[in-house]
């Protein structure tokens, strides 16, 4: 591999490829890349280890951890990582969804829009802030509206790539609802773009997933009309 016309050694080449993947926001898999032993350690053990290493990071940056404001930061960050912003990595946190008969015999699309979520880019570990818009057509079963929000939050609360997040939400909804008639649109701002790199504070990223009846242009157009997306190429 070459960079600026210079042949790189294997270690430099690996780093340059990783750097390119991170800057170009490339997703390598529809599944979150987890090691087989990801859950052998307890959450408490993970917190202790994260706190230790984050303390090392702060000290490397030259910060004085004897300061009252910083003294508890490693433990706070460790707790936040495990219990809050990355809790979607834990299968035990996956929302339990109950299906109900569609007794109203409602056969039109149901749209849940403007679902706010906070995630983190897996390339730089800075926030992704966005809205998810979900629609489905019942196959005879329905779920509570809040459960749609919980599914979005579960997959958002892990290191993510927006394309993967879109697919994961859609596949889980299809599995839970027992239907292929699902649509997902995500509109998000990436702080790895706005706060670093090109530092573009005005851009946003839109991703979508359509399956079943939503592949029909008429059905897709109806969905977009509820979201005011008729003039947007999604």
Total structural domains in the chain? 2
- Catalytic residue, candidates 133, 190, 209, 224: 190
**Domain encompassing residue 104:** 100-227
- Catalytic residue, candidates 153, 160, 172, 192: 192
In this structure, are 167 and 60 located in the same domain?
no
Q: What is the pLDDT of residue 233?
A: 46
Is 162 an active-site residue? yes
Q: What is the pLDDT of residue 189?
A: 95
- Catalytic residue, candidates 123, 133, 209, 224: 123
Do the domain assignments include residue 16?
A: no
Do the domain assignments include residue 91?
A: no
In this structure, are 165 and 110 located in the same domain?
yes
- Catalytic residue, candidates 133, 162, 172, 224: 162
Domain stop point among 85, 113, 137 = 85
Distance CA 2, CA 97 (A): 50
CATH number at residue 80: 1.10.286.10
Do the domain assignments include residue 31?
A: no
Average pLDDT over all residues of the chain: 88
Q: Is the pLDDT of residue 16 over 70?
A: no
Higher pLDDT, 20 or 115: 115
pLDDT range class, residue 228, cuts 50, 70, 90: confident
Is 53 an active-site residue? no
Quick: pLDDT tens for 142-186: 999 999 999 999 999 999 999 999 999 999 999 999 999 999 999
């Amino acid at each position: 591999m070459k960079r600026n016309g210079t042949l790189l050694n294997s270690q430099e080449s690996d780093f340059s490829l990783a750097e390119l993947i991170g800057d170009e926001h490339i997703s390598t898999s529809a599944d979150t890349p987890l090691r087989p032993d990801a859950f052998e350690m307890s959450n408490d053990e993970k917190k202790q280890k994260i706190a230790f290493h984050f303390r090392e990071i702060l000290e490397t940056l030259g910060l004085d951890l004897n300061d009252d404001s910083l003294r508890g930061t490693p433990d706070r960050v460790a707790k936040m990582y495990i219990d809050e912003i990355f809790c979607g990595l834990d299968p035990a946190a996956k929302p339990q969804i109950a299906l109900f008969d569609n007794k109203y015999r409602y056969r039109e699309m149901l749209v849940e829009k403007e679902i706010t979520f906070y995630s983190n880019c897996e390339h730089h570990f800075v926030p992704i802030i966005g809205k998810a818009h979900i629609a489905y057509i019942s196959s005879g079963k329905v779920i509570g509206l809040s459960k749609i929000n919980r599914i979005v939050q579960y997959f958002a609360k892990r290191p993510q790539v927006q394309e993967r997040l879109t697919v994961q939400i859609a596949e889980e909804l299809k599995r839970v609802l027992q239907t292929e008639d699902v649509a997902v649109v995500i509109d998000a701002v990436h702080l790895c773009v706005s706060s670093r790199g090109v530092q573009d504070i005005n851009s946003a990223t839109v991703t979508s997933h359509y399956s079943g009846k939503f592949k029909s242009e008429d059905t897709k157009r109806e969905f977009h009309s509820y979201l005011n997306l008729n003039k947007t190429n999604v």
